[in-house]
A and B are shown apart, each in its own frame.
Chain A
Amino acid sequence: MSTVDFIVIVVVVGLVALAITKMVKDKKRGVKCSGCSGCSECPNNHLQ
Chain B
Amino acid sequence: MPQTSQLYDYAMFGYFAAYVLYAALIVFRKSRGLGLLATGILAATWLVHTGFLIERGMFYYKQYQGFLLPSTNMFEAVGYFAWLVTLLYLIAERVLKTRAFGVLALLFPAGGVAYAARAMSADPRELMPSLKSYWLVFHVTAMFISYAGLFLSFVFALMYLLQARGGRWVARLDQRFTPKYLDDISHRIVLLSFPVLTLGIFLGAVWADSAWGRYWGWDPKEIWALITWLIYLAYLHLRYQLGWSGYRISLLNTLGFAAVMVTFQGVNLLDSVFKLNSIHAYATGSSVFLITVLAVAILIPVIMLLLPAPPKPADSPDEETILPLSLGKPGHEQH
Q: Is chain B a partner of chain A in the same complex?
A: no
List chain A positions with a Cβ less than 8 A from chain B: none
List chain B positions with a Cβ less than 8 A from chain A: none
